[in-house]
Chains A and B, each alone.
Chain A
């Protein structure tokens, strides 16, 4: 097993990986840009290496700096987290060439599944059903238009190197296709350094159901059941749960077998996810995510497994410690993503300083957070602050528990969608499990926070303003739980 691992990421996922490293007694190295100097993941690592300029291209996407950081600290392996370079075959190759272990699939498997059109070819060869679409990315607008005619409108424009909804646009007409292709290519080039696009038929109101897979280097591949992530906005997942309300044992068996077949055909190793769109009882292969995913906690909650630990063990050469028959699940788990975004303004980003954060606790609640009171949310990166997940014996119990946890969550200083999520969780269509990828558009377009919740806020704020100055000053100083001692020291002279 490794004795030192570098975490090539930031925020909540870096914190989560660091926690398993700590549990395994493995020394950890964090990296941080100038914008993350005081970040939580830096505080929790054993060592930290600065990356400089906060723009992604010169920090978390800078392969030279990351490899240099690993070498200078003597790290033996690099865990890439999700996003950034986690699915970049060139990075996996650079890491290996530097004599380090990349905690993820081998570079050639990454290349095979990372290119979305090649992944489709691999899945098709393994007998997995596909959505009608293009087999190769294309930049020529005329060729794209011809492909769209063949596939049939409406079409979805997707980034070949993309993921997480970046660079996706729907086009219902040839005119829309032209504009959509250009915008998608631009967004993808910015996020993934690769602007090529391809088209797929657009399915109406399917469910997004994905299977967690795990493969070792000895050819053993298993799935760890499904997650349904249909509740999305702008193709970004907002709520994720397992099991899917629409998947029974028979369907699970069929889809699980297809997921394993796809992973095996791609020569996949380590943790990954095979995504499907489920339409009734028909499922279509979407893509393979060759990384640990944001929503992995719900799988960990129902299986009792530590996926990051398994990733490290596989990367260190160990075989899978269980067979498919030995994987069991229990109960229901559901997770909410807490982004620094304002649901009243189309989920526009809400960067700034977090004045106060309080994480939920108690039975069956798991909170993976990358923030603390007083920390800054930079403009440069994905605005995920934390994930709140709940586990219960039934779906109803898990949903009620997540709602209770979201009531306990406090984030002051930046906007978050917590209140919006509470309203979604408590809505009849959600309670009935009638989820699909246009769920939010259909039931929550134009959502606004309840005005009757203003009264208590006004009372509290008015009381604040009528407080004596000493109390107000105390409230404005750095909170006691700020992990930076440089900000907690001082204030000795205040009342």
Chain B
């Protein structure tokens, strides 16, 4: 990019959990580019570029796509099949740092957080309650489908950050648990 680079641009892209190597060559005099996807070569010509639709000639075949960019990546749709093309996953360490956590860091698997954007329907415990592993703590609802979030291990409710009616999303820690004290009874 920038001042007419003469070399192909190499990117690593991800769809779901599959990573791909893609290179895009500069446009040649006759309007074609070479795009290599995981070692497979394609001749691509851009035909039309309105704000959201793209007309391409890929290996001689006419293709109409729709494209939209978002903070998560590039959405692409063709003939009813839609893909979100993203940058490769950062390493696990970086991912943990991105989660909203309290000073005592917990891994994603241990956090009491909804799986998708939801609304809090009920809080089943109070600060100070002793809970056992698997005990249900919060009920959330997304589009009228209820999920019950349970304690990943025994402990005591230290803080509750969920109010009935509040909108919550993955990464929000709804209930903070203190681990069970040494020598407490089995759950």
Residue numbers of A with Cβ under 8 A of B are 53, 55, 166, 183, 186-187, 190-191, 340, 344, 348-353, 355-356, 358, 373, 379-383, 403, 406-413, 415-416, 418-419, 422, 449-451, 453-466, 468, 471-472, 474-477, 479-480
Contacts and interface: CB of A to CB of B under 8 A. Distances in A.
A458 B85 contact: yes
Given A351-B117, A456-B76, A458-B13, A464 B69 contact: yes
Contacts of A353: 70
B146 A462 contact: no
B9 A466 contact: yes
Contact of B24 (A350, A380, A411, A463): A463
A465 B24 CA distance: 9
A455 B40 contact: yes
Given A457-B15, A460-B56, A462-B11, A351 B143 contact: yes
Given A461-B85, A462-B24, A462-B35, A349 B80 contact: no
Given A191-B144, A406-B80, 18 more contacts: A190-B141, A349-B142, A349-B145, A350-B116, A356-B68, A403-B80, A412-B67, A416-B82, A418-B80, A419-B80, A453-B83, A455-B40, A456-B58, A456-B65, A460-B78, A461-B73, A462-B9, A475-B69
Given A461-B76, A466-B24, A479-B52, A411 B82 contact: yes
A476 B13 CA distance: 20
Contact of B15 (A348, A382, A458): A458
Interface residues of B, number: 58
Contacts of B1: 466, 468
25 contacts: A55-B119, A186-B139, A355-B75, A379-B118, A379-B142, A379-B143, A379-B167, A380-B119, A382-B144, A383-B143, A411-B77, A413-B68, A449-B81, A449-B83, A455-B37, A457-B81, A457-B85, A458-B22, A459-B56, A460-B54, A462-B11, A463-B44, A464-B69, A465-B24, A474-B51
Contacts of A356: 52, 66, 68, 75
B100 to A, nearest CB: 18
B79 interface: yes
Which of B23, B74, B139, B167 has the most chain A CB atoms closer than 10 A to its own CB? B74
Contact of A186 (B58, B70, B146): B146
B181 interface: no
Contacts of A465: 9, 11, 24, 74
A292 to B, nearest CB: 19
B63 interface: yes
A389 to B, nearest CB: 16
A475 B52 contact: yes
Contacts of B119: 55, 379-380
B143 A462 contact: no
B78 A412 contact: no
B26 to A, nearest CB: 9
A358 B79 CA distance: 12
A410 B139 CA distance: 34
Interface in B126-183: 139, 141-146, 165, 167
Given A379-B119, A379-B167, A464 B44 contact: no
Interface in B22-60: 22-24, 33, 35, 37, 40, 42, 44, 46, 49, 51-52, 54, 56, 58
B165 A461 contact: no
A189 B81 CA distance: 37
A166 B144 contact: yes
A187 B68 contact: no
